[in-house]
Each structure stands twice: as structure tokens, then as C-alpha cells.
Structure 1
Amino acid sequence: MRHLLLSASTTALVLLLAGCSIGERYQEPETEAAPAFKGQPDAVAGESELLANAWWQAYGDARLNALVAQFARNNQDLAAAAARMDQALARLGLARSEHFPQLDASGSFSRERTNRIDGRNPTQNLYDARAIARYELDLWGRVSGLVDAAKAEAGAETARYEGVRLELLTQLVESYLVLQTVDAEIDLLEQTLELRQGGFERIQSRHEAGDSDGLALAQARTELELTRAEAIGLRNLRGSLENALAVLAGASPSTFHLEAHTQEALPTLPEVPVGVPAQVLARRPDVFAAERQLKAAHERIGVAQADYLPRFVITGSAGYTANEGDGLTEWRNRAWSIAPTVSLPLFRGGELDANLAQARAAAEEARAHYRQTVLGAVQEVEDALNAQQVLAEQMHAQQDAVDAALRASEISNARYSGGLVSYLEVVDTERTQLEAQRQLTELQRQRYVANVALIRAVGGSWGTLPMEGGPVVAGL
């Protein structure tokens, strides 16, 4: 009875010590964010309706919306990222399991013979069935630190999943919009090809009638074939874009096909209200992931510090032991034990010091990575804002150039029809017109890329994909 009271007293004392922990409390890193982006100095904080919803729908293209839905269901990189997130959540479950007692059941049978002095050597059976429990008291917060680190890592992996989803989704939208501009440019070249074919046939008729020399005919043929070659080259680019869209949508490039767009106008560029830097940093998944990784590294410092201190483990068992199997569960055959144990590291050859130094260095690395991620995020937003502004101005000037080139081409054709100039002037003005129109299409392509880049830079919108049974992580 005295031993039982002593064991109970020891256990109670250890339990009273539980809840003590070492290590500094984690504080989220402070970020010195400017009051506004220099590319959008008049912006104010506030949630953008575009970013709060399915932003890709703002382009007003039903085929694009269908591709996004297919991407959400079938993209394999996204599925791999979801699996990595599930692994992190499973590791969190493993860490949390250490907060609870470990309970096992065991059963055994043995037959043994004992040699005695009196010469009687009896043989007996021994049956044993019992439950065994083991519980480590988290006195210094070692187990809690492991759980908090795993929880932070699960949050980081969830944010990485969102980052992968945003990156892949913006790749898909960008590729689709670029494909639309390529289709528009192919359409422009095909229209030009028809005009060049008609011009060539007229020059050929005049040449056969003796009203035109061979130079004009050769020039007309040259421009015709150059235009044809450029149209063929663009079809190669279109094929590559279509194949890239197939992979992003989780389809085989061999069976995937998108018809050339039949819209009179290209999709509209949506306005992207950026907000202030602090708002953007809070929305970006890579910044959130870096902060959670810093949190995990901080918690591991406390775990490494706790390794210097004693560890208390309570082991107990209860069950039955008997010589006969039939009477094993009788009350008189009951057996139990309780064994509080303590272990304290005395000499590890510098292992604990090295482990703590590694944990602190890892935390410094995570802190530097977080700061660099913040700087990179601000840079991406500023770059995208600058590109949007410059491209808008450039496109306005290019539109004026296209209008002037069209007027020059009309005048040149009228002068040629009146016999005032040679066909060389017509060739020059039409070539200038075509180049101006193609450059305008190229600028539109760049504006689409910059528009999507800005949405990516400000963090897009989390959790808005049309997915059934998509991952939902609470409390991370």
C-alpha cells in the first residue's frame, strides 16, 4: 500500500508540473509596407469584387470558363499539390497523436519447467492478457512544440497548394488569351493574303496585256509569298499554345482542339484594383506560406531546448495472469502495474548543442526567406503596374500609327490606279500597314500577359475554383 501511495504521489507531482514550457512566444514578423504602390499611388484599401470572385470570368469568354472548370477537375500538377497538402495534414495528425496516451493490448502463453533442489521439476503453463498504456507528460512543451510546428507546416503546405493553383490557373488564362491574339493575327494575315492574291492577279493580267513590266509582277509575287509564309509560321505558334492548354486542362494534346475564335473583338481587359501593399501581402499565398514556415522553424527551437530537460513517462498495465487458461479472467488472477520513469540526457557528444544551433539557423533562414518573399511580391506588383501603364500608352500611339498607315495605303492605291506611281510605292505602304497592324496585335498580346501577371502578383482569389470536394482546411 505504501508503494502504491508513493507511486500515486510521484505521478501527481509530475502532473502538477505539466503545462510548464520553455522557449519564447512566437510573434508574427513585422513588415514595413509602403502606404501605396508607386505604380498606383491613389489606391486605397478595400476588397476588390474582381478578386473576391472568379476573376477569370471578367474576360467574358465562355470557352475560357469551361477550360478553367476542366483544369480544376483534371490538372495533374494541381492534384499532386493537393496530395502534398494531404500529407502535411496527415503529419499534423501524427504529431497530435503524441498528446494522447498510447494504449495497446497484449496476450501471451508460455510453458516452462523449473529445476528445484528437491528434485521435483514441475512443468507449468502461464497465460497472460493485459492492456498496456504509455503516456509522456509534456512538461516543457516539447510535444506541443512538435504539434505547433506540424500545424504551421500544414498551413504552409495549404498556402503552397493555393500558390500552385494560382500559378497554373494564370498560365492557362494567359495561354488562352495569347491564343486569341494569335488567331486574330492569323485572321489579319489571311485577309491580307486575299488582298495580295487579288493584287497579284491584277498585276499578272496587266503584265500579260503588256501594261506592266516584270518587276511589278515579281514584287507582287514576293509580297504574296512572304505573307503566306508568315501565316504558316503563326500556325506553328498556335499549335504549341493549344498543346500547352491541353496539358493544363489535363487532356491529351493528341485529342484536344480549340477552334479559331470567331469573335469580332478580343476579350475585354478587366480592371484590377490592386489596393495597398499591406492588403496585397496578406492575400498572397507565397507570403503566407513563408510566414507559416517561419512559425514552424521557431517552434522547433523550443523543441530543441526541451531536449535538454528531463522527460517523464508513465507506463502502466492491467489484466490477468494465470496458470490455467480456463480461469484466466477470474478476479483472483488480476494483475496490474504502474511505473513512472524519468530520463535526463547527461552526455551526447554535442548532439543537443548542434541540434539547437541547427534549429536557430533554420529559423534565421526562414526569416530571411520571408523578407525576400515580401520584397519579391512588391516587385512583381510594381512591375505589372508599370507594364500595364506603359503598354496602354504604347498601344494608343500604335493605334494612331495604324490609322495613319491605313490612310497612306488608300492614297497609294489611288495614285497607282491613276498611273501616278509605280507598284513599288503600293508595296511599301501596304507592308507598312500590315506591320503596324501586327504590332498592334502584339501589344494587345502583351497587355493580356501584363493583366494576368498583375492578377497573379496581387494573389488572385483563394478558394474560388469550381471544384467539387475541394480541400478545406480550418484552423491553420
Structure 2
Amino acid sequence: MSSRWNARPCATALACAALLAGCTVGPDHRGPEMPASGGYSPRPLPESTASAPVAGGEPQRFVSARNIRADWWTLFESKPLDAVVRKAFAANPTVESAQAALRIAQENVRAQRGFFFPSVQASYSPARTKIAGNLGGNSPGVQGNGTVISTTANTPASEGGSAPFNAPVIYNFHTAQLTVGYAPDVFGGNRRQVEALEAQAAYQQLQLEATYLTLAANVVAAAIQEASLRQQIATTRAIVEIDTQSVALLQRQLKAGYASRLDLAVQENALAQASQLLPPLEKQFEQNRNLLRALTGGVQDVELPESFELASLALPRELPLSLPSQLVSQRPDVRAAEEQLHAASAQVGVAIANRLPQFSIDATWGGAASRFGQMFWDSGRFFSFAANVTQPLFDGGVLKHRQRAAEEALRQADAQYRSTVITAFQNVADSLQAIHADARSLAAAVELERTTHTSMELIRRQLGKGYVDRLALLNAEQAHHQAMLALSQAQATRLGDTAALFQALGGGWWNRGGGEITGSRP
């Protein structure tokens, strides 16, 4: 009857803790307010770009309702590009690092959830002890089987005793116990901590998506750069060849007396300038190949089989254009900033809960005896139950200032979120302006190429009739190749800025697998 009565306080305390556990202090997270914005320009932008009569010069149309593909880079219709992007996803160490960071955050959430449950520990302690006779009274005493473990008080020598008055005792002793501890989450401090860690896990999930997006964009940019450099190198080599022929021609004319030394010096200077352009282009090309190998997780002494040319990259005709209200839910960096804001909000609740009374319940049950098999006889069993309430009264302002720091961190996270949103809007606006300007620049480059080609053909006809010399044709061919160089650069720029728009819009990660991202709330 006595043991049943003693269990009642434990049950009562647990019931009270369960009732109190419904309270959660601190601010509840609400989605942040988005800066008011209805578009990406003070003035309406054209729905389509200018066009040019050249490959890659087609007009691009902006479609508000167009969904963004998760594999948006495939819109450039290049199998080598798709292959390199997928290689990068599979082998680039930054992806593996981001995946590990996500798993760390998820495990931290699971670990924190463990504090909602009691902790249970079992222990067993065998011991062999010798107690000095002079310390009588510290021995275990009478055991369950009737034996007595105690120091001995013998007859004093003054009374005829032959042994020391106090005799030590040596004994074995076994203790086994089960300990249960529980800290009820009365004011929701642990719930807020779990909430903060869940937000951090969601942040890491979005960081992983941002890693994929950035990696794909870097691969696409490097592929376009390679195609552009390959074309520039070929054109520059053609210019060098033409200048070399011009120098040789002027040297012959100088010997024949038909040209001056100044004419030759001018042409030699043109050749030197053209030749000077080639090594930097070749350096950029090789460094760009090194970059592609690194992005795909490869080493530098193994060649990447894929290569890129401008003719193999198609220009996407229809471009998605998300509204600002959609953009904030699509961009991984904006969503990540919101999760950081969520975590900061939860940490305010944690700081407030730490200033309120802290509750804990501890119970121990076990047995102790000089022999292993007697630990749980009636004489060897023991138990204890204790409840504790602690209210901080004075700590030098530590908890108060920690709460204030958490509140300021919340304000900081809110400002950082708004800054991220503003930057996201700017990125899209910059991309849109660039795409429109690129189309006009390409049209101008096409016109320049056309006029220089017409001039070259006219001079070629005049040369056939003897009206001009060979040098005039070489100069016209050089001007035409310079125009072709500008044209290839304009084509590459248009492709690059198109890829930048996909990145600025978030890349379509939410459409992977036909649904929302999974694992953002572990």
C-alpha cells in the first residue's frame, strides 16, 4: 500500500506538466511582407525583342504564363551541354557538400526533438571496498540474508584484548539502478528550438537547390564562352593570315617602287596588333576548358570529350517572365532568406522561455546488496522521486540581453530578406534590359557584317577589272573579319544573357518531379 501511495505525486506532476506544455512563448512566424512591385521596369517593356537575319537572331517573346523547366538548359538544344551539366551535378564536390549540410541540419532537428521525451538510463556498479576500522559507521550494515557488514570494535588492550580495538571490513557491493529524467516543455522553449532548427534545415535544402542552379548556370556560361572564344580565335587567325598576305604584298610593291616604306610600316603594325590579340584569346580558351573540367569534378590532365560551337547552341524563342509575387516563392536565395527569418523568430521564443521558470522531474529505482542476486530483494530495493522548479532571479542581465540580441537578430534577418528580394528584382530587370539590348546589338552587328561583306565584294569586282590593287581587297577582307568577330561576340552575349534570365527567375527547381521540393521540413 505504501509504494502505491508514493507513486501518486509522480503521476500528479506528470499530469500537471502535460497541461502546462501547451504554452509557447515568443512571436509566431508569419510570412514577411513583400516590397510592393508589379513589374521590373517603370515603363512597360516590349513583349518581344528585335530580330536579325542571322542564326540566333530570332525574336524572343516573353510569356508571363510560361512555366520554367527544371532542366532549363535543355532549351539551348545541345546534347553536349546537357551531358556536361549532368556530369557536374553528379561529380562536383559543392553538390556533395551541400547535401551533407542538409543531412546535418536534418539530424540536428531529430536530435532536438528527442528532448520532448524522458531520458532513461540504466547503470550497474560493482565495487570492492575496504573501510578502515577508525571510520566505523560507514559500512552497509545488515544485508538481506542476515549477514552484517560492519567494522569491528574489539576488546581494548587495556582490558586484556589482543587485537586492535578497531578492525577494518572488506566487502563486495553491487548497485543497479534505472534513472528517468524529464524536463516538461512548459513554455515552449524546446518547441521554438525545434522550429528554429527546422527552418535551418529548410534553409539548407534551398541552399542545395541554389547550388544546383548556380552550377548549371556556370556550366552554361562556360559552354557559351568556349563557343564564342572558338569562333573569335578562328576569326582572329583569319585576320592574321590576311594581314600577313598584305605585308608580303607591300614588301613586293616596295621593291618594285609601287609602295612607300610608310605603307609597309602601317600594315606591319596592323599585323602585329592582330597577332597580339591571339595569345590572350587562346589563354582564355584553355582556362575556360580548365573551368569546365573543374565544374564537372574532373582533373586537369583528362580531356573533356564535349566541345561547343555557336552553331550548335539554339536560342530559346519563348522566355518565361514570372511576376514579382511569383519570383519570391521561386528564387532559392529569397526562400532561404525567409527561412533564416523564420529561424530568427523562433530564437526569440527560445530566449524568452529561458527567462521563465524551468521545470524538471527525476526518478530513480534500483537495488543494492553485497551479493549480485540479492540486489532486488525487498531489503535491497530503493527509489527516489524529485521535482524541481528553477526561476532565474539574478544573472547579471545575461538572459535579458540574450533576448534583446535575439530580437535584434530578427530585425536583421527581416532587413536581409527585404534586401534579397530587392536584389532578385534587380537581377531580373537587368536580364530583361540586357536581352532587349543584346537583340539590338546583334541586329547592328549583322548590318555591319552585311555592309563590310558588300564592300568586300565590290572591291573584289573592281580588282578583277584592274581599278584597285590587291591591298585594297585585303583591307576590305580584314574589315569584314572584324565585323564577323563582333557578330560572334554579339551572338554569344545574347545566349549568355538568356541563360542569366533563367538563373534570375530561379531556374525551375520547383518543377523537378512534377511537384514542390521535398524534404524542406524534415
TM > 0.5: yes
Summarize the alignment of residues 246-395 of structure 1 with structure 2, pairs less than 5 Å apart: 246-257=293-304, 261=308, 265-270=311-316, 271-330=318-377, 333-395=380-442
Q: Which residue of 1 aligns with 2:458?
A: 411
For residues 440 and 236 of structure 2, what CA distance do their matches in structure 1 show?
25
CA contact (8 A) 2:357 2:392 kept: yes
Structure 1 position 164, deviation (Å): 2.3
TM-aligned CA distance change 1:160 to 1:379, over 3 Å? same
Q: Does the CA-based 8 Å contact 1:35-1:277 persist in structure 2?
A: yes
Shift of residue 53 of structure 1? 3.2
Q: Give 1:446 deviation, angstroms.
A: 1.7
Structure 2: distance between partners of 1:222 and 1:312: 87
CA distance in structure 2 between the partners assigned to 1:359 and 1:366 by the alignment:
10
> Could you list the per-position Cα deviations for residues 122-148 of structure 1 after superposition, in whole angstroms to 9, with x for gaps in the alignment?
544321112212111001000001000
Q: Which residue of 2 aligns with 1:15?
A: 18
Q: Deviations over 1:4-33 (max 9, x none)?
A: 433433332233222122223211112134
Q: CA deviation at 1:272?
A: 2.4
Shift of 1:223: 4.9
SS in 2 for 1:272: strand
1:70 — aligned with what? 87
Q: Measure how far apart 1:265 and its partner are.
A: 1.7
Q: 2:153 aligns with which of 119, 135, 154?
A: 119
Larger radius of gyration: 2
Q: Is the counterpart of residue 473 in structure 1 residue 473 in structure 2? A: no
Judging changes above 3 Å, is the alpha-carbon distance between structure 1 residues 331 and 312 closer, same or farther for their aligned structure 2 residues?
Answer: same
What is the percent sequence identity of the aligned residues? 26
Task: Give the TM-score normalised by structure 2.
Answer: 0.81
Distance 1:18 1:393, change over 3 A: same
Q: Check 1:411–1:118 CA distance in 2 against 1; reply closer, same or farther (3 A cut).
A: closer
Task: Tell which deviates more after alignment, 39-48 or 249-258.
Answer: 39-48
Secondary structure in 2 aligned to 1:52?
Answer: coil
Deviation (angstroms), 1:154: 0.9
Residue 309 of structure 1 and its aligned partner are, at CA, apart by 1.2
Q: Deviations over 1:305-342 (max 9, x none)?
A: 11121111111223332221133355764433322211
Once the two structures are superposed, the pairs formed by residues 144-163 of structure 1 within 5 Å of their partners are 144-163=191-210
Please provide the CA RMSD for this pair.
2.9
Looking at structure 1, the residues matched to 507 and 310 of structure 2 have their Cα atoms a distance apart, in angstroms, of: 29
Match for 1:115: what amino acid? Answer: G
| Alpha-carbon separation, structure 2, partners of 1:380 and 1:151 | 29
Tell me what 2:146 maps to.
Answer: none
Q: Which amino acid aligns with 1:80?
A: S
Question: 1:96-125 CA deviation, whole Å, 9 max, x = no partner?
Answer: 121122122211123353614982765443
Aligned equivalents of 1:11 and 1:257: distance in 2? Answer: 66
Structure 1 residues 320-329 or 347-356, which shifts more? 320-329
- Shifted more, 210-219 versus 330-339: the winner is 210-219
In structure 2, runs of 5+ residues without a counterpart are 48-61, 138-150, 155-167
Q: What SS class does the counterpart of residue 326 from structure 1 fall into?
A: helix
**Further displaced range: 325-334 or 302-311:** 325-334
TM-score of the two chains, using structure 1 as the length reference: 0.89
* Contact 1:242/1:258 (8 A) holds in 2: no
User: CA–CA distance in 1 between the matches of 2:81 and 2:356?
Assistant: 59
Whole-angstrom CA distance in 1 between matches of 2:402 and 2:310: 65
8 A contact 2:63–2:319 mirrored in 1: no
Q: Does 1:96 align with 2:130?
A: no
CA distance in 1, matches of 2:300, 2:322: 39
Question: Aligned equivalents of 1:126 and 1:348: distance in 2?
Answer: 43
Query: How far apart in 2 are the matches of 1:230 and 1:118?
Result: 105
